[in-house]
Amino acid sequence: MVEPVSGEPVALEPMTLEDLDDVLAIERVSFQTPWSRGAFRYELTQNRVARCSVVRRGRRLVGYLCRWEIGHEIHITNLAVHPDLRRHGMARALLGAVLEDARRRGVGLAFLEVRPTNAEALGLYESFGFRVIGRRKGYYFDTGEDALVMEARLSAEPSESAAPGRPGA
Pick the closer one to ligand COA by CB: 2 or 124: 124
Distance CA 46, CA 33 (A): 22
CA–CA distances in Å: residue 67 to residues 19, 47, 53, 78, 135: 17, 11, 9, 7, 20
Residue 91 CB, nearest approach to ligand COA (Å):
3
CA–CA distances in Å: residue 148 to residues 27, 131, 137: 21, 9, 9
Distance CA 158, CA 133 (A): 22
Cβ-contact 98, 154 below 8 angstroms? no
Cβ-contact 117, 145 below 8 angstroms? yes
Torsion of CA 143, 76, 148, 116, to 10 degrees: 60
Pick the closer one to ligand COA by CB: 12 or 91: 91
Pick the closer one to ligand COA by CB: 28 or 105: 28
Residue 106 CB, nearest approach to ligand COA (Å):
25
Pick the closer one to ligand COA by CB: 21 or 105: 21
Pick the closer one to ligand COA by CB: 25 or 105: 25
Sites of contact with ligand COA (CB under 6 A): 30, 79-81, 86-92, 114, 118-121, 123-124, 127, 167-168
Cβ-contact 43, 25 below 8 angstroms? no
